[in-house]
Amino acid sequence: MKKVLLIMVILSLFIGGTAYASHYMYAKRYLTFKWTGVDLDHTYHCANNGSHTYCWSWTGGESGGSYLSGTWGYGDYGDSKCTSSNWGCRFIYGINGVCHMEANRGLYTSGKTVHNAKGYWLSHALYGTYGTSGSWVACKTACWLWW
């Protein structure tokens, strides 16, 4: 019985596909401005496909930042890329979310968020973790993230 279980576990690693992939991802940030005395970070996410690291942000600035602590983890590169390139995941900036929500969508499969970004407490209070519920449902549907 132990041998059968071991074989099933090993086979599931190969059959399971990208859900078991060891693609790492993380978020980066840079201070954009002070708003009424509150520091606000712009954030974006990066993911490695095994040979190269790509960074994305529809809301501007996807280079030149520094690592945002607490965001490094393993997840699915294809899902991270989808949330950044699929039109079903775009939202109206300031209406459905801001860069923090976009970065969280990219980090979704790693289970990490940009909760350490300056100003996140405000954007999270306004838009939730991944943006307004309707825009997040549309994105999850577009990228098949219902697991």
Alpha helices in the chain (DSSP H): 2-15, 77-85, 99-107, 120-127, 133-142
Q: Could you tell me which of 35, 112, 34 has the C-alpha nearest to residue 74? A: 112
Report the chain's C-alpha Rg in angstroms: 17
CB 101 within 8 A of CB 131: yes
Return the higher-pLDDT residue of 4 and 101: 101
**Which residues does residue 42 pair with via DSSP β-bridges, in sequence order?**
30
Which residue type is seen at 46? C
Find where tokens 């009424």 sit: 36
Distance CA 29, CA 100 (A): 10
Distance CA 56, CA 135 (A): 18
Longest dimension (CA), the chain: 65
Give me the pLDDT at residue 34, please. Answer: 72
Could you tell me the two tokens for 63? 């280079």
Q: pLDDT by residue (tens digit) across 19-71?
A: 445 689 999 998 877 767 778 999 999 999 999 999 998 877 788 889 999 99
What 3-state DSSP class applies to 92? coil
What 3-state DSSP class applies to 115? coil
- pTM of the predicted protein model: 0.81
How many other CB atoms sit within 10 Å of the CB of residue 75? 24
Could you tell me the two tokens for 10? 């090993």
Q: pLDDT by residue (tens digit) across 105-143?
A: 999 999 999 999 999 999 999 999 999 999 999 999 999
